Structure 1
Amino acid sequence: MNKLNDAVTYVKERMPREELKLETYITTDNLKQNKGGKENAISLPPSGNTFPAYSKNDILIGNIRPYLRKIWFADSSGGHSADVLNLRVNKGICPRFIYYNCFQNEFFDHMMKGSKGSKMPRGDKNQILTFPIPDYSYNYQQQIAKVLSDLDNKIEVNIKINMELEAMAKLIYDYWFVQFDFPNKNGKPYKSSGGKMVYNKELKLVIPEGWEVKPLTEEMDLQYGFPFSTKLFNEEENGVPVIRIRDIQNGSISYHSTEDVDEKYRLNKGDVLVGMDGNFHINYWNLENCYLNQRCLRIRSKSNSISEIQARYMIEPFIKAREKNVSRTTVGHLSAKDINDLKIIVAHPELQSKANKLFNSILKKIISSREENQRLGELRDWLLPMLMNGQIKVVQTEKDTLKELFPDVNLYAEVAALQFLDKKANSLSHGKTYIQKAMSHLKDIKREKRLKHIEFEEYHWGMFSKTVAKSIDSNPFLYQETTPNGKKVYKVKANKMKELITWMALQENQGFVKSVEELIALYQEPLIGNDIDRIELLNTVHRCMTKLNSDKLVDIRKEMQEWPMKENSYKNKAEKFTENETLHMIGFIKELLVK
């Protein structure tokens, strides 16, 4: 066995305060407990000239109260606070292998043994480096890291799926219960189509006629937590799991208790939990046989009430506003009066029933993904120490050479991802010609590797690929729809949405997804403005420049004259696009290629 000291060094690099960003600034506040990674910082330090810096593949560890188990494997570069330790792995050692060594509970127990201070213990930097590390070859380190990373990648996929599901639920909620543009009897948005609205004195706003306003306490089943004695808390899992405020955000269990507790404090899957001290965390619960601690609130649907999702979205703005109004020098508290004052809106029975079915279906999927993540996390944590101490060996299998020699060439998911991301960014759906042009740009402008061997040829409206055409016509993710003006567009099937989002979230597809997002942003540039003709001009000029290896206007225009067309009596591309338009596009592409 080696020591951690043989594998890492503490990073001493620094960066100017002006270069700090919320997305990449790491403190003990935005490192998540129980090895939950990190979230974006909510503020940057107001003073100081320079700050500690980290780079991609560094290991960042919270050094205040090590028992909170805060750790993150950096996937970018940025800055961090002084209370975060930054370990950089030495050359010749697999960074993720060392990360997973530090990911073990035993590592944080080791930190606590050497920590100093009682109320706010801090790890001892020298003692931390004495943690034992197994002495494996570099190749075997990589194999262990891959086994564990594959599990973490699946967990990350589920997290991203849930983010999309919650975004979908929030979108429906905003349309129906904030903007009041739910579908009326004719399928049109209610308020925007002149639906009758009435003023409500309690909310001091207009709501649809026939809707009700009720106290939260009347509509939902509420229960405050039990006052467990902290003296009976234990980490040996004796007794029942106790859910405290700190557990709500991550859906974790920190302590058990042997104290007798009434069943009314027992939690169900899908309950909404609210922390009532400090940060007023709100989250859905997904674990069985857990009991709620004091200063926490449980919200549950009744048989004929609104759903938990709707209740959460209705009360969350008021609770967060209350949280913001608390002075930074004091700890915020939610009182029973605050809860009693909360009001919710109930739609007419037919619409409310429809909303409940939608929201309950989404919540069921969210809980299911979280449960799968719980199982995957438990499997990872069970495997981790045994892989490190050699109780379990990684067996390397032979590659499937037949699959490498005869790959199934289709771009079903890639084409569907293009349509999905464009719809998400611009609320637009497109037809075949747009897809062909965009895919050729992904190959030639974005240099997307997976399109390297896809052949494109000149067609009257732009670049065309038989492989792309096949991937559109027989695409299992898409269906064709005819717009009111007769245009045929492609959209992602609702029952294929989860599968597509899962595909996009896989690490191996992240590069392609990023290329598509960058291309969509490129199409939004002022010179193009998401105009299909501008995209065609980009397609045309770039093809000519590549084919001729020239950026001279006279050469490009001559080649455009040789490119025949079948549109609106234009004989060729040079007739459709003027010299001035072509010149501007040449400049745009040259600048683009420099970037």
Structure 2
Amino acid sequence: MKLSQIAEYVEDKISSSQITLEEYVTTDSILQNKQGKAVATNLPPTVCPLTHYLKGDVLVANIRPYLKKVWYANINGGASADVLVFRAKQGNDSTFLYALLLQDSFFAYAMKGAKGSKMPRGDKDQIMRYELPTFTLHEQKNIGKLIIDITNKLSLNRAVNHNLEAMAKQLYDYWFVQFDFPDENGKPYKSSGGKMGWNEKLKREIPQGWKDCKIKDFMRIFTGKKDVSKAVPGNYKFFSCAPEAITSNEYIYDGYAVLVSGNGSYTGRVGFYRGKFDLYQRTYACVLDEEVRNVSFFYYTLRYLFQPIYSGGKHGSSIPYIVLGDLADFRFAFNETICKKFVDTVTPMFDEQLLRLQEIEKLTKQRDELLPLLMNGQVKVGVERSRLNYDLPNNHGILLC
């Protein structure tokens, strides 16, 4: 059967003046790689009609289908023109429709009919001809519930990690930007009258007894040796300057590393990885050969101080980039005692983030492997549900970004 037999496009309209920012959905606010939805940047500048979606509808960004942007609506609202809103027809289950449109094969099919080169758009008629097996309503509901359960768990893990990241950022800001770390009496240092002194290299005041340091004073920095096109797919992460890693059949490092994109649209972007990995020749890895436990401090230093300055690059016009010296010579205020206290405080949060990221990657892998098996009948929900409990390979790593 075809998609058109179980779903239809929503054509109902709602005025942009009748919805809130949280209820407004655009192609940009639906996240890549099936990660749901973020809050839109702003409402339309002028009042306009929007597609009126309802809770239980499935929204898919129709620009560049290969980005795999899909969201199962848990609220009512309005969507911009390039967002396709699917609604399950009577006698069909909306969660099953979501599971169906979540498949990699659906996005590959949409790309085959897409028109345009730089900004390909899916063909709405062709999309509705997407073929699927016939399922009873009971089977649809079983498949849909399983996939929604996984989606909800993924959303919870991402929300917890977002909160943990916000807490660490706030603490870093208090201690290393505002310098209100606890003094010997447990009071905020600067706000309580702690002595400050001008640092010419940092062009700002820093606490008495602190010093200015460079990243290269603590970290060893290296890049990969190959171009992205030369990476042979395998069992290890290969980090280019793009947000999503590909794979490699070999690794050049095993351990904790802060990763910095060196060129392109994501220049200056900072992430973290623990495990075995390979690198693109313009992606930088910053590692600690000693005092490895302090890596969380340097990750937050680069993420909260370096990234805002160097995001988008410092060199180049058509293709922005940074050079090794930008990273190696980046200066920051440092005090060993306060650094140790910070690491002691944030390490449990940092470790919790890594554990939840590991679960996110495991659940995502399970979901994407199960979906085609569920859809072709090789796996029946309730019969082989134990497939959700297999272990990760030994070379599995964790990415934080």
TM (norm. structure 2) is 0.82
- Aligned residue in 1 for 2:308: 320
- The answer to whether the 8 Å contact 1:243/1:290 transfers is yes
CA distance in 2, matches of 1:290, 1:281: 19
- The amino acid that maps onto 2:222 is Q
Q: How does 1:165-204 map to 2 (within 5 A)?
A: 165-204=164-203
- Aligned residue in 1 for 2:397: none
- Aligned residue in 2 for 1:392: 379
- Aligned residue in 2 for 1:90: 89
Q: 1:290 and 1:61, CA in 2 relative to 1: closer, same or farther beyond 3 A?
A: farther
Structure 2 unmatched runs, 5+: 384-401
- The amino acid that maps onto 1:369 is R
Q: 1:154 and 1:78, CA in 2 relative to 1: closer, same or farther beyond 3 A?
A: same
CA distance in 2, matches of 1:293, 1:394: 41
TM-superposed deviation, 1:60: 1.4
Q: 1:338 and 1:283, CA in 2 relative to 1: closer, same or farther beyond 3 A?
A: closer
Superposed CA deviations along residues 84-117 of structure 1, whole A, max 9, x for unmatched, are 2221221221111111111111111211222233
CA distance in 1, matches of 2:251, 2:363: 31
Q: Percent identity?
A: 35
- Aligned residue in 1 for 2:341: 354
Higher strand proportion (structure 1 or 2): 2
TM-superposed deviation, 1:257: 5.5
Q: How does 1:119-158 map to 2 (within 5 A)?
A: 119-158=118-157
- The amino acid that maps onto 1:41 is A
- The answer to whether the 8 Å contact 1:32/1:38 transfers is yes
- Aligned residue in 1 for 2:287: 300
Higher helix proportion (structure 1 or 2): 1
Q: Does 1:339 align with 2:327?
A: yes
TM-superposed deviation, 1:371: 0.6
SS in 2 for 1:121: coil
TM-superposed deviation, 1:267: 6.5
- Aligned residue in 2 for 1:10: 9
Structure 1 unmatched runs, 5+: 397-595
- The amino acid that maps onto 2:40 is A
Work out which of the two has the higher radius of gyration on C-alpha atoms and give 1 or 2: 1
CA distance in 1, matches of 2:24, 2:312: 22
TM-superposed deviation, 1:17: 3.8
- Aligned residue in 1 for 2:278: 291
- Aligned residue in 1 for 2:394: none
Q: How does 1:23-422 map to 2 (within 5 A)?
A: 23-46=22-45, 49-230=48-229, 232=230, 237-238=233-234, 241-247=237-243, 252-253=244-245, 255-256=246-247, 263=252, 266=253, 268-269=255-256, 271-274=258-261, 276-280=263-267, 282-286=269-273, 288-304=275-291, 307-315=294-302, 316-317=304-305, 319-321=307-309, 323=311, 333-336=320-323, 338-339=326-327, 342-347=330-335, 349-395=336-382
Aligned length: 379
TM-superposed deviation, 1:294: 4.2
Superposed CA deviations along residues 523-545 of structure 1, whole A, max 9, x for unmatched, are xxxxxxxxxxxxxxxxxxxxxxx
Q: 1:106 and 1:209, CA in 2 relative to 1: closer, same or farther beyond 3 A?
A: same
- The amino acid that maps onto 2:136 is S
CA distance in 1, matches of 2:262, 2:312: 14
- The amino acid that maps onto 2:301 is M
Q: Which has the higher contact order (CA 8 A, sep 6+)?
A: 2
Q: CA RMSD in A?
A: 3.1
Q: 1:106 and 1:294, CA in 2 relative to 1: closer, same or farther beyond 3 A?
A: same
User: Higher mean Cα deviation, 17-26 or 359-368?
Assistant: 17-26
- The amino acid that maps onto 2:196 is M
- The answer to whether the 8 Å contact 1:220/1:305 transfers is no
- The amino acid that maps onto 2:240 is R
CA distance in 1, matches of 2:178, 2:130: 56
TM (norm. structure 1) is 0.57
- The amino acid that maps onto 1:243 is F
- The answer to whether the 8 Å contact 1:287/1:371 transfers is no
Q: 1:96 and 1:64, CA in 2 relative to 1: closer, same or farther beyond 3 A?
A: same
- The answer to whether the 8 Å contact 2:228/2:280 transfers is no
